[in-house]
Chain A
Amino acid sequence: MTEPRRRKAEKEPENLSDKDVDVDDKAGLEVDGEPDLKPDSDIPDVPPSNDSTPEVFNKALSGLSSRWKNWWIRGILSLAMISFFFLIIYLGPIVLMLVVLYVQIKCFHEIITIGYRVYHSYELPWFRTLSWYILLCVNYFFYGETVADYFGGLVRREVPLQFLVRYHRFISFAMYLAGFCMFVLSLVKKHYRLQFYMFGWTHVTLLIIVTQSHLVIQNLFEGMIWFIVPISIVICNDIMAYLFGFFFGRTPLIKLSPKKTWEGFIGGFFATVVFGFLFSYALSRYNYFVCPVEYSSETNSFIVDCDPSVLFHLQEYTLPPVLQSILGWDTVHLYPFQIHSIALSTFASLIGPFGGFFASGFKRAFKIKDFADTIPGHGGIMDRFDCQYLMATFVHVYITSFIRGPNPSKVLQQLLVLQPEQQLHIYNILKSYLTEKGALQPAINEQ
């Protein structure tokens, strides 16, 4: 006589029976057997995100109506964030790197917390530890590659660093494997599916966030202008599209975000291109923004000093006859970088919003209003950075494809690792190549 086991205590989702999906999203939730059948609120323990503004704001704005109060809070916080942005630019590359790291950790935490709520898996054994551990491994891997590339001089000097750099991939892989084996050993009978879901969730989050943040840092090392201009352009596009939509908005753009309009989209596009153009002009003159960030092993610090590349030298461009008659000039002095900024602005206005739509869809899918409540009036850090994701990758790909050649110190470092015969072979080829180009005199060989 077989007695069936009672299911009530079990947390494991239901069997996969074939039910109709098309009813509505709530039924969709039931179909895939997830236990989270509450459509509206995801968790009982998140405080309602209505009023997380600090007391000081509440007092100052207590006289105004709710709608204007919201406006003022958003406005003040926007200004605060922009000032903070200027401050960290002033403080320099190291501070920027640390801020990027902090933002990355916060975003990761926000998304993982959403995952826990969705799957009610906060008490899964080991999982919180595991996800932070894997974040650490991935960061270690990426930072190690960056350090090895850009701080070649420092690395050559310190022997322990040399060891870490040479076997960097192996060490990172070993660390990741340890996490993987821990995951396999932590699989508990009742929670298999949830554990796999969280594993997948963690990895997709890492893929999105950590790679983006490292591309941001790599862009930064090319020159702070490659960090500042893209981010400013995306922020400008957000604000301009909002303003244009507010004043002229009529035709809705996409069902995902009902507040966006075509007028805002197009107006934002043109305004952003103009802004990017002018802003690049303003920034291109200063060495501080334009020069690659380098680590000088002599002075043991970061220097941002160099001979600006061709990109940042004023050049004359002849205008097409149409513009000539309008503007009355024959030629115009522009930085070539400004031409590139048009490409960046175009991307930020046309494709960057898709990152925002993706995040909106994500929030609707998991029925949350904001990612978190870190910034009053704005939501979580992810809410502010959702349009930036694609931008960072685009800028990086743009730089590697169109602007930058390979990194000289990295090439040198790899050269020195080769076998002596291979080095000699390359040396001879290089010598004949440089002699041909006239950079080397054939007869003089000292130094």
Chain B
Amino acid sequence: MIRNESCLPVQELPAHCGTAASPIQTEWEAAGDTEITTLCIWRTPHGVVPCHEVLHRAGAKKALLLIMKRAGESESTTSGSDVKLDSSSADTAPSVDNTPEVLNKALSGLSSRWKNWWVRGILTLAMISFFFLIIYLGPMVLMMIVLCVQIKCFHEIILIGYNVYHSYHLPWFRTLSWYFLLCANYFFYGETVTDTFFALVQREEPLRILSKYHRFISFALYLAGFCMFVLSLVKKHYRLQFYMFGWTHVTLLIVVTQSHLIIHNLFDGMIWFIVPISCVICNDIMAYMFGFFFGRTPLIKLSPKKTWEGFIGGFFSTVLFGLVLSYVMSGYKYFVCPFEFNNDANSFTVDCEPSELFQLQDYSIPCLAQTILGSESIRLYPFQIHSIALSTFASLISPFGGFFASGFKRAFKIKDFADTIPGHGGIMDRFDCQYLMATFVNVYIASFIRGPNPSKLLQQLLALRVDQQLQIFKSLKANLIQKGVLQNGA
């Protein structure tokens, strides 16, 4: 139903509209409004201009921007607000109201802004409880969850790629990208399983062969995918296919390697998994709180909602939180022990003698703090010192992961990666700060904490030739004698 009466006829347009060529009239149901508003815009030689517009409701302004976009003008770049630009493709449903019915009913009384707050809050609590639950369920379940999250993130990013390039119907490509994901996962999981569960692998014959030729098998699988890609190149779609190939590989690089580093960290002890993730979550929440209450100076143009006050306040509170959480967790073997396969008991165990890192030690504190705290020394776990480093990284550097994801979303004009979690967006939205953290923790452990894995070293040693083993034996003996561990002649 188009109402004409509010649009000026072409002859009566103001002078600055130029010579109008043809009027475009359209109707639009502004988001949240129930009335139909007619907007009039004219196509002129200067482009499409709304020389005369009728703004019935506040929502019409938003709708106007949408109209202009549809008619071929640029979208207004002043939309720092949450105008939902109809971006990617025609098939994504407007992500306005994805919340389940039950929440809608419960919150139907509140205004839209508070409702959003409540939805976010409830979902946050739900996610945190889910986190606790899977920690309780143990490492195997955690591995499965990490795998699911990885697959979902990959799927979200690949979908964005399809939307950007309108390449959803490229021949073979969907199959190929899932296949590459499978190959990459097979390679990484195989390496992890071989390294960590060496005893189990050596025992079972089929596993042993798979692990011995693991790299070859993975490479062959990948090559098959590569050849399929080359054979699937179709004349009209070369460039798109190469773009999607590159997109898939970069996504794999980011998503799959991170998730395997997380699992690596997990195997060193669940505390190396829980504390970093909690620090990042805490930093997110604390920075938001500090920003909400004290925020004044904007931090970076990419994310206009972030402020320096939030950043710094989040830093200090995250360090504190990390210290406290590490103290609490270091007491329990369940969190502290590496996840191993016990050959005798024939099962996976999380039981060990906690390493030095998790035994209380006395530290004498500087005089200044002594007077404040009233004691001469303080008992800390060495791990808490490490947690300061982890928290510092989580507060200072991993927000760059978040900025990267914000830049990505702005570059490809999407508001959220997907709509999986109501009020929060897709799974990638929740995990964007975690990427760098997982790699950092892994590198940190490899550089500062963990030495090489003795059982893996033994495995390699026994695979050498006898003369090489003898040589190593002599060097090792000399080293041990020098260290005084071995008596000369023993």
Contacts and interface: CB of A to CB of B under 8 A. Distances in A.
Interface in A183-212: 183-185, 187, 189, 192-193, 195-196, 200-201, 203-204, 207
Contact of B447 (A4, A166, A430): A166
B479 interface: yes
B87 to A, nearest CB: 6
A192 B464 contact: no
A10 B76 CA distance: 12
Contact of A424 (B47, B61, B240, B486): B486
Interface string B275-302: 0000000000000000000000000111
A336 interface: no
B216 A196 contact: no
A358 B230 contact: yes
Interface stretch (A74-82, A225-233, A279-287, A400-408): A400-408
Interface in A331-366: 351, 354, 357-358, 361-362, 364-366
Interface of B: 47-50, 53, 61, 64-65, 68-69, 73-77, 87-90, 163-167, 169, 212-213, 215-216, 219, 223, 226-227, 229-231, 233, 235-243, 246-247, 249-250, 253, 300-302, 397, 400, 403-404, 407-408, 410-413, 436, 439-440, 443-444, 446-448, 451-452, 454, 457-458, 460-466, 468-477, 479-480, 483, 485-486, 489-490
B250 A430 contact: no
Interface in A148-187: 166-170, 173, 177, 180-181, 183-185, 187
A398 interface: yes
B401 to A, nearest CB: 9
B464 A408 contact: yes
Interface string A428-445: 011101100101100001
Contact of A200 (B227, B235, B246): B246
18 contacts: A2-B53, A4-B76, A5-B74, A6-B74, A25-B238, A29-B239, A32-B166, A169-B443, A173-B439, A195-B411, A196-B407, A204-B249, A354-B230, A411-B457, A419-B451, A423-B479, A426-B461, A427-B486
Nearest to B412: A193
A390 interface: yes
Contacts of B236: 21-25, 28
A256 interface: yes
Q: How large is the interface on A (under 10, 10 to 19, 20 to 34, 35 or more residues)?
A: 35 or more
A414 interface: yes
Nearest to A421: B485
B473 A406 contact: no
Contact of A447 (B77, B230, B436, B474): B474
Contacts of B89: 16, 18
B461 A411 contact: yes
- Shortest beta-carbon contacts, A-B, top 5: A192-B411, A365-B238, A406-B460, A170-B447, A401-B216
B404 A397 contact: no
Given A187-B407, A196-B408, A354-B230, A201 B73 contact: no
Contacts of B76: 2, 4-5
Contacts of A424: 480, 485-486
B251 to A, nearest CB: 9
Contacts of B247: 200
Contacts of B404: 180, 183-184
A426 B231 CA distance: 51
Contact of B470 (A18, A187, A420, A439): A439
A390 B226 CA distance: 10
Nearest to A172: B443
Given A207-B253, A394-B219, A397-B219, A430 B469 contact: yes
A15 interface: yes
Most B CB atoms within 10 A — which of A7, A10, A16, A201?
A: A16
A59 interface: no
B466 A401 contact: no
Nearest to A178: B397
Contact of B68 (A4, A394, A408, A427): A4
A184 B302 contact: yes
A70 B444 CA distance: 57
A4 B223 contact: no
Nearest to A189: B301
Nearest to A445: B489
Contacts of B452: 414-415, 417-418
A67 interface: no
A2 B61 contact: yes
Contacts, number: 250
Contact of A437 (B49, B411, B466): B466
Given A28-B239, A437-B466, 9 more contacts: A15-B75, A28-B240, A169-B447, A184-B400, A255-B235, A354-B230, A417-B452, A420-B480, A426-B461
Nearest to A419: B451
A11 B321 CA distance: 45
B165 to A, nearest CB: 5
Given A406-B463, A418-B451, A427 B227 contact: no
Contact of B451 (A167, A417, A440, A446): A417
B47 A4 contact: yes
A184 B403 contact: yes
Interface string A23-40: 111001101100000000
A434 B466 contact: yes
A134 B211 CA distance: 33
A255 B397 CA distance: 48
A433 B465 CA distance: 12
A417 B474 CA distance: 16
B472 A412 contact: yes
Nearest to B51: A1
A91 interface: no
A305 B448 CA distance: 37
A207 B250 CA distance: 9
Interface string A114-139: 00000000000000000000000000
Nearest to A196: B411
A60 interface: no
A5 B458 CA distance: 68
Contacts of B410: 192
Given A184-B404, A426-B458, A366 B239 contact: yes
A251 interface: no
B447 A18 contact: no
A384 interface: no
Nearest to B251: A200
B230 A256 contact: yes
A401 B218 CA distance: 11
Nearest to A29: B239
A10 B447 contact: no
A3 interface: yes
A361 B460 contact: no
A9 to B, nearest CB: 10
A327 interface: no
B219 A5 contact: no
A121 B76 CA distance: 24
A98 B253 CA distance: 28
B227 A351 contact: yes
A416 B226 contact: no
B483 A420 contact: yes
Contacts of B443: 169-170, 173
A422 interface: yes
A154 to B, nearest CB: 16
B223 A203 contact: no
A369 interface: no
Nearest to B14: A1
B463 A203 contact: no
Contact of A427 (B48, B50, B477): B477
Contacts of B242: 361-362, 365-366
A425 interface: yes
A426 B476 contact: yes
Contacts of B480: 420, 423-424, 427
Nearest to B219: A397
A423 B476 contact: yes
A305 B305 CA distance: 65
B463 A415 contact: no
